[in-house]
Amino acid sequence: MTVPTDLGTPRAATPDLLRSVFRQHAAGVAVITAPGPRPAGFTATSLTSVAADPPLLSFGISTGSSCWPAVSEAGHIGVHILGEHQQELATTFARSGADRFAPPTSWRPGPHGVPLLDGVLAWLVCKVVARVPAGDHRIVLGQVVEGDPEGYAGTAGRSRPLLYHEGRFNALRD
């Protein structure tokens, strides 16, 4: 076995170091939504499957996010897996100050009042079971209560997942 000898120069742990390293980590793109007088939603690349029984997932959200007040009070949230055709939707939900639910965003109220986005690869509605402090973020733990692996518009199989890598949205290559 050959041992790598060029590991570069170590840098001290900083937020920039973490961001730089994670730019090299391709992640799936999801949109998290929460009900309220004004629905809230944001683009997330921190979505993780936690357990199969009971079905649990997690994601991180900054406590400085404009969506944090809605997520901090929501009993249920929506999780939407985006397809490669939804870069514009991902950008809309990532943009600060945008009216994310205005046209052209197509959505409807779903179970427990959770806003559900149309045309996604798949969606879940989750009961929020914990909000764990993690630095300037919270890790939200959700228990799946229902969903659809085919998406609202039956798009699964017609599109591939949207990925985030090196600071931009990408599609899988053949």
Q: Find the angle CA(153)-CA(157)-CA(162) to the nearest 5 degrees.
A: 85
Give the global pTM.
0.88
Domains, the chain, ordered by start: 16-165 (2.30.110.10)
Across the chain, mean pLDDT equals: 90
Q: Per-residue pLDDT tens for 131-174? A: 999 999 999 999 999 999 987 555 555 678 999 988 888 888 77
More confident site: 126 or 153: 126
**Spatial distance between the Cα atoms of 5 and 84, rounded to a whole number of angstroms:** 38
pLDDT, position 18:
83
- Pick the more confident residue, 110 or 151: 110
* Cα–Cα distance for residue pair 79/77, rounded to 1 Å: 7
